[in-house]
Amino acid sequence: MDITLDVKVGALLEAYPQLEQTLYEISPMFKKLSNPILRKTVARVTSLKQVAEVGGIPPVDLINRLREAAGFSPFETDEAEMDAEGMPQPAWFDEAFVVKHFDADAVIAKGQNPMDDILKQCDCLQPGEILQLTVSFRPVPIIKLLHSRGYVVWSSGSSNYITRNSSTTD
């Protein structure tokens, strides 16, 4: 199996178990993958590009470190297309409309997966209301899932603000 941005973490570690240690060396944040629940759920659906975004690492750097450790040649790509910088505050955001707060780190610290709780919290949002999701990393997989379900997300530091998509959310 080739190591590219689209490869899922679970598939990578199945094919190259020795790369787990390399991931830990790249960022201590990836030690969370040793949590069996996260390993079983998140690693199965999370791509290496998403892992790089979550870890705040340029994707080309992550891929090349993993490829080198597995004995492959470097991966070449346009770094501009892989930029994961944050967006400016959107027009729909107003701190006064934050009606719910959810600390995903607290759930993860208990060895649980917060995804279902986050989705339930979002499903309760009325138009214009905002959920503030606090987590120590950028939760790219849940952000993509929320987008597919009609939500918009703005991330700022460890806070991710979520609201229902409407004609006024740009």
pLDDT value of residue 168: 38
pLDDT value of residue 79: 39
Quote the DSSP letter at residue 97: G
Band (pLDDT 50/70/90 cuts) for residue 37 is confident
Contact 127/111 with Cβ under 8 angstroms? no
Quick one: average pLDDT of 31-52?
Answer: 82
* Separation CA 140–CA 145 (nearest Å): 9
User: Could you tell me the pTM of the whole model?
Assistant: 0.54
Q: Which residues pair with 163 in a beta bridge?
A: 152
> What is each CA distance from 23 to 1, 16, 31, 160, in whole angstroms?
17, 11, 8, 25
Reply yes or no on whether the pLDDT at 164 is more than 60: yes
Q: Which residues of 27-53 are buried (b: 16+ CB within 10 A; e: fewer)?
A: bebbebbebeebbebbbeebbbbbbbb
- How do the domains of the chain map onto residue ranges? 9-82, 95-164
pLDDT tens for residues 51-102? 887 777 778 888 889 999 999 888 665 433 333 334 567 888 899 999 999 9
Sheet holding 130-134, edge to edge: 98-103, 130-134, 159-164, 151-156
pLDDT tens for residues 129-153? 999 999 887 788 888 889 889 898 8
